[in-house]
Amino acid sequence: MPLTVFMLNNQSVDTIINARWVIPVTPRNTVLENHSLVISGHKIIDILPCENAAAKYTANETFELNTHAVLPGLINAHGHSAMSLFRGLADDLPLMEWLNDHIWPAEAKWVNEDFVADGTLLAIAEMIRSGTTCYSDMYFFPNISAKVATEHKIRTQICFPVLDFPTAWAQNADDYIHKGIELFNQYRNSDYVTVAFGPHAPYTVSDAPLKQIATLAEQLNAQIQIHLHETAFEVQESIEKTGMRPLQRLANLGLLSPSLQCVHMTQLNDDDIALLAESKAHVIHCPESNLKLASGFSPVDKLLKSGINVALGTDGAASNNDLDLLGEMKTAALIGKAVSSDASAVNAHQALEMATINGAKSMGLEDKIGSLEVGKLADIIAVDLGSIDCQPVYDPLSHIVYATNSHQVTHSWIGGEIHMNNRQLSMIDTLHLTERVRKWAEKIKAADAAN
């Protein structure tokens, strides 16, 4: 058969990514050498050896990533995106002093729609450049956060805040919930935005709204995210005021379910872990923020061995101070070993799962994202392992967790659309964004100095 006739029979596709290694995450501990990802529309339609891809498909665009590992886009399961504008504002302080004396007063003064728009876009730019393609956000003016994410085509779970007291966005718990339900309905069919309930914490939300959230979330099949068991003080105060640990209180109110995402969870006993395992609630581990605020250590190895889904988050840049999920993976693995006194605990693949498929599971999106599988959305990143400081490469999966940094992320695709090509962002005007951020910083710094 003439070559020209054979080529005409090739299937036309949008993109082929030829990679030195493909790390699909599912199946576990799998590394495919010299394989191609084939993308048509928004989805992965094939994963096969490079030579077979060349024979089977003709692509509009082909990427030759001969020194790269290609893996699912990372999923940052907890953060406060707009707080990137407060990065470094009040460092080296205990949690409650940090919140009460610095962060909450700064929020009261500065947080408005423009602040959230610019802060969210700043966070998105940083996350894409460090390998994140989907993130969870809990902050004020979630309608603005959702709009910015949609405009820039990045996947997000927007957790609209619920508190008992007024803020710039709402007046009371009923007002927060009412506005949140409107947002949920607005984005019900969105390709990029999933709306979830975001009661801030047990100490800022009373029983009645928590019960209401449990009922509404079940009716709407929506997720719930809450800061929980973050500090020893929080747990002790709950026992003194209610006679119960916070997790038990949530269980009594009907919140403990597979829809619940429990953020931080540094203060856990065996009864807490048993409750989590029985309910199939998720834990969102934020190791670097917990370290910086001296909040404690989440017993990740125990949680994983109890069958609890543990995902990974950065928290906000005000308490981290970055949104680099690659760095968070390494920290999570190292702390997991130290806390359990077991060098084999929280191994490289478990850490990678926490930053990918486990995050997808916590958001109820595991059938769409979190691993590289035929039929899933093409949310993909490439990490260059070819530099001299990364040699030799015995195990690329282990290298991703222990031997890389965010600057080695070179490419990013979300739903098959390229968002970063050789470190250049394609959907964000970084020049004008940097100028707007500089103006915010000048105002915030001047006001803080005046105090």
pTM for this model (two decimals): 0.96
- pLDDT exceeds cutoff 50 at 1: no
Q: Write down the architecture of domain 74-362 according to CATH.
A: Alpha-Beta Barrel (3.20)
Triad 57, 58, 64: Cα angle to 5°: 90
Structure tokens at 279: 């309910």
pLDDT of res. 451 = 67
- pLDDT exceeds cutoff 70 at 88: yes
Which residues is 18 bridged to in the sheet?
A: 36, 64
Instruction: Find out whether 379 and 61 touch, Cβ atoms under 8 Å.
Output: no
Amino acid at 432: H
266-276 pLDDT, tens digit per residue, is 999 999 999 99
328-347 pLDDT, tens digit per residue, is 999 999 999 999 999 999 99
Higher per-residue confidence, 21 vs 8: 21
Structure tokens at 29: 């501990």
CATH number attached to the domain at 3-72+376-415: 2.30.40.10
Q: Which residue has the tokens 């984005």?
A: 187
Distance CA 124, CA 323 (A): 9
Question: How is the beta sheet containing 380-384 ordered, strand by strand?
Answer: 43-49, 32-40, 11-22, 57-72, 380-384, 409-414, 417-421, 424-425
Q: Which long-range contacts (CB under 8 A, 24 or more apart) does 342-347 make?
A: 342/301, 345/300, 345/301, 346/300, 346/301, 346/304
284-323 pLDDT, tens digit per residue, is 999 999 999 999 999 999 999 999 999 999 999 999 999 9
Is the bond leading into 299 cis (omega within 30 degrees of zero)? no
Under DSSP, is residue 9 helix (H, G, I), strand (E, B) or coil?
Answer: coil
Task: Tell me the average pLDDT across 88-98.
Answer: 86
pLDDT of res. 95 = 78
Amino acid at 79: G
Which residues is 255 bridged to in the sheet?
A: none
Amino acid at 190: S
Burial class (CB in 10 A: 0-12, 13-18, 19+), 93: middle
pLDDT of res. 152 = 98
pLDDT of res. 251 = 98
Task: Tell me the average pLDDT across 356-365.
Answer: 98
pLDDT of res. 445 = 85
Q: Give CATH 3.20.20.140 domain extents, the chain.
A: 74-362
- pLDDT exceeds cutoff 50 at 6: no
Task: Tell me the average pLDDT across 219-238.
Answer: 97
Give the 3-state DSSP-derived string for 195-220, with helices as H, strands as E and coil as C.
Answer: EEEEECCCCCCCHHHHHHHHHHHHHH
Task: Tell me the average pLDDT across 192-211.
Answer: 98
Q: Which is it for strands 57-72 and 43-49: parallel, antiparallel or unpaired?
A: unpaired
Best CA proximity match to 409, nearest among 419, 394, 423: 423
Q: State the angle between helix axes of 113-129 and 430-450 in degrees (0 to 180), rounded to the nearest 10.
A: 120
Q: Give CATH 2.30.40.10 domain extents, the chain.
A: 3-72+376-415
- pLDDT exceeds cutoff 80 at 388: yes
pLDDT of res. 38 = 98
| Arithmetic mean of pLDDT over the chain | 95
Give residue 406's pLDDT band: very low, low, confident or very high (50, 70, 90): very high
- pLDDT exceeds cutoff 50 at 3: no
415-436 pLDDT, tens digit per residue, is 999 999 999 999 999 999 999 9
Task: Considering only CA atoms, give the Rg of the chain.
Answer: 22
pLDDT of res. 342 = 98
Task: Tell me the average pLDDT across 124-139.
Answer: 98
